[in-house]
């Protein structure tokens, strides 16, 4: 039987079933131990030092214990601390991105995804480079600067060369004042050599959802195709790191397995990356199973309520305070609104989850034929941006770290240095100004400029504040763009 070892490179040793079961048993036994719960909550709280805030985070055992406890007062405190962490490290900024579906050809058999090989009635599409260009122009015209590209696994139709060509095309398009400044990549687990090629192509984060950490369920949910290999999939982030990609994004598809098991597995994965590579995950995504073509989410027994989903999100925030957290348009405006306060730092906006879903369609038209899942939040990017601002969040289109080479542990040291207000905050305001000037509706512009003026006052350094103010004026009065700290 495999022994738990966070430093091991073997999937069943760093995501160890025995350790997860022990953790869940231990959490059940101690769930009402008030002194222990108090100790864990105190440990999670951000501490203000001379150079800003620091946080200790939580182990998978501590996180699981909080999840098991069902005292409403404890839950309130978890939410409060999650919000404090969010404000300490991310302020009121929310980074915006959009998915770009390149191809829905796929040789896998994932039972929760309509792109599975056996789905014979869904049309299969793969964008040509001209079509990629058109999609990128449409996305730039909406105001996007950051994309997450998505493609099914198909060595014949979507080989790595195709993905690399698409990345090259995306970075090459500069329409009006637009450009895509960071391309995150969500493709199947691959080899160290291919990760190296992705790194050389200038990708931002490599994202790969684990779907479920429960091996037995994983094998059933992925009955056929290369993704069936649990170990190869689970060890992908280590190969990505070996290939030089130091920003990796984890995720679980909540609803497939028991959420308590998944939370423990997810935090163990983060601990493993930290133990082996010295840097935890750059982001964690929290998707839930959704309706799609031939997929009915009620067919999965482990669906979670909005309340449980919020609790999980807040506990992840406590456990990995320096990791960005992403929520997609799978969730409704109401759910997104609540989760933004509990730790989410990135949202997608104006998303289309079909291949070729942007170019040639108006803001309220959306093709459904190749959709990977139903989009619950169907608002345009302009509406999402305005909604965020009206709720006190600053929509940020910042990609500065990636462009300045601050990835991996250099990014983490920025987070831990207390310089976020002198860096992320002005960057958010400058990129928001770009958006307002180039793409926003008059109504959004009015709300936005008021926010920029107020928020600029919060930049602590006089020097940084005055440079940011000058750049903002420059953006308004010229075509100069892409200022950053
Ligand atoms: S989840 Fe990914 S690998 Fe699985 S069928 Fe869908 S596109 Fe293919
Ligand atoms: S400066 Fe870096 S950490 Fe801050 S918002 Fe921009 S990209 Fe993110």
Q: 34-44 vs 60-68: helix axis angle to the nearest 10?
A: 120
pLDDT at 303 over 90: no
Residue 429 near ligand 2, beta carbon < 6 Å: no
Q: Which atom belonging to ligand 2 lies closest to the Cα atom of 424?
A: 4
pLDDT tens-place string over residues 308-324: 999 999 999 999 999 99
Task: Please report, for residues 93, 187, 270, 347, the alpha-carbon distance to residue 397 in angstroms, rounded to integers and kept in the order given.
Answer: 10, 23, 26, 11
User: Rounded mean pLDDT of the chain?
Assistant: 94
pLDDT at 362 over 90: no
Residue of minimum CA distance from atom 1 in ligand 2: 424
**Cβ atoms within 10 Å, residue 23:** 27
Query: What is the gyration radius of the CA atoms in the chain, in angstroms?
Result: 22
Helix locations, 328-423, DSSP H: 333-341, 381-390, 400-403, 408-416
DSSP state of 425: H
pLDDT at 410 over 80: no
pLDDT at 419 over 80: no
CA–CA dist 238, 358 (Å, integer): 34
Percent of the chain with pLDDT over 70: 99
Task: Please report, for residues 175, 184, 244, 294, the alpha-carbon distance to residue 204 in angstroms, rounded to integers and kept in the order given.
Answer: 21, 5, 11, 32
- pLDDT bin (cut points 50, 70, 90) of residue 413 is confident
Please name which ligand lies nearest the alpha carbon of 400. 2
- The CA-based dihedral angle spanning residues 405, 409, 413, 416, taken in that order and rounded to the nearest 10 degrees: 130
Residue of minimum CA distance from atom 1 in ligand 1: 113
**Cβ atoms within 10 Å, residue 73:** 8
Residue 153 near ligand 1, beta carbon < 6 Å: yes
Residue 398 near ligand 2, beta carbon < 6 Å: yes
Determine the Cα angle at 118 with ends 115 and 123, to 5°: 50
Q: Which of 44, 40, 36, 42 is nearest to 85 (CA)?
A: 44
47-56, 155-164, 222-231, range with the lowest pLDDT: 47-56
Q: Which of 51, 48, 49, 80 is nearest to 66 (CA)?
A: 80
Q: Which of 91, 93, 398 to mutate to test the pocket of ligand 2 (most atoms within 8 A of CB)?
A: 398
Give the helix/strand (H/E) hosting 197.
Answer: helix 192-200
Asked whether the beta carbons of 461 and 426 are under 8 A apart, the reply is no
- pLDDT bin (cut points 50, 70, 90) of residue 241 is very high
Q: How many residues does the chain have?
A: 485
Please name which ligand lies nearest the alpha carbon of 212. 1
CA–CA dist 196, 185 (Å, integer): 13
pLDDT for the residue 44:
98
Residue 214 near ligand 1, beta carbon < 6 Å: no
Q: Which of 464, 386, 388 is nearest to 430 (CA)?
A: 464
What number of CA atoms fall less than 13 Å from residue 58's CA on the CB side? 33
Chain CA centroid to CA 360, Å: 27
pLDDT tens-place string over residues 434-471: 999 999 999 999 999 999 999 999 998 999 999 999 99
pLDDT at 377 over 70: yes
Report the pLDDT averaged over residues 204-233: 97
- pLDDT bin (cut points 50, 70, 90) of residue 330 is confident
Q: Which CATH class is domain 89-379?
A: alpha beta
Chain CA centroid to CA 116, Å: 23
pLDDT at 418 over 70: no
pLDDT tens-place string over residues 15-39: 999 999 999 999 999 999 999 999 9
């Amino acid at each position: 039987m495999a022994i738990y070892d966070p430093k091991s490179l073997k999937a069943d040793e760093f995501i160890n079933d025995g350790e997860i079961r022990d953790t869940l048993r231990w959490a059940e036994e101690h769930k009402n131990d008030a002194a222990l719960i108090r100790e864990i909550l105190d440990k999670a709280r951000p501490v203000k030092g001379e150079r800003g805030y620091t946080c200790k985070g939580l182990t998978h055992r501590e996180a699981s214990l909080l999840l098991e406890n069902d005292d409403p007062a404890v839950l309130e405190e978890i939410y409060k601390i999650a919000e404090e962490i969010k404000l300490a490290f991310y302020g009121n900024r929310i980074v915006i991105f959009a998915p770009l579906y390149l191809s829905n050809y796929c040789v896998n058999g994932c039972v929760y995804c309509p792109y599975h090989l056996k789905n014979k009635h869904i049309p299969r599409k793969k964008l040509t480079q001209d079509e990629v260009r058109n999609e990128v122009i449409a996305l730039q015209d909406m105001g996007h600067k950051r994309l997450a590209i998505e493609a099914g696994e198909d060595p014949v139709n979507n080989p790595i060369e195709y993905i690399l060509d698409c990345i090259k095309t995306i970075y090459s398009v500069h329409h009006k004042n637009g450009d895509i400044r960071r391309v995150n990549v969500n493709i199947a687990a691959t080899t160290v050599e291919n990760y190296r090629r992705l790194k050389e192509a200038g990708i931002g984060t490599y994202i790969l959802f684990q779907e479920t950490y429960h091996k037995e369920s994983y094998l059933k949910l992925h009955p056929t195709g290369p993704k069936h290999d649990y170990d190869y999939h689970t060890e992908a982030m280590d190969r990505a790191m070996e290939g030089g990609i130091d920003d990796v994004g984890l995720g679980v598809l909540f609803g497939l397995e028991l959420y308590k098991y998944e939370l423990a597995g997810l935090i163990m994965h983060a601990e493993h990356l930290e133990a082996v590579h010295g840097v935890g995950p750059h982001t964690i995504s929290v998707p839930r199973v959704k309706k799609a073509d031939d997929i009915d989410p009620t067919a999965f027994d482990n669906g979670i309520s909005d309340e449980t989903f919020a609790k999980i999100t807040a506990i992840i925030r406590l456990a990995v305070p320096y990791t960005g957290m992403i929520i997609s348009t799978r969730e409704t405006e109401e759910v997104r609104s609540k989760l933004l306060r509990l730790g989410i730092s990135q949202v997608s906006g104006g998303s289309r989850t079909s291949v070729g879903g942007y170019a040639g369609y108006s803001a309220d038209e959306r093709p459904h034929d190749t959709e990977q899942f139903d989009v619950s939040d169907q608002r345009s990017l302009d509406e999402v941006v305005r909604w965020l601002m009206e709720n006190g969040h600053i929509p940020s289109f910042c990609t500065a770290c990636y462009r300045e080479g601050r990835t991996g542990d250099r990014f983490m040291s920025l987070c831990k240095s207390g310089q976020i207000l002198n860096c992320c905050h002005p960057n958010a305001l400058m990129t928001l100004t770009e958006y307002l000037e180039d793409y926003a509706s008059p109504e959004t512009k009015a709300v936005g400029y008021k926010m920029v003026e107020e928020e600029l006052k919060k930049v602590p350094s006089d020097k940084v504040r005055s440079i940011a103010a000058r750049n903002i004026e420059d953006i308004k009065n010229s075509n100069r763009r892409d200022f950053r700290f």
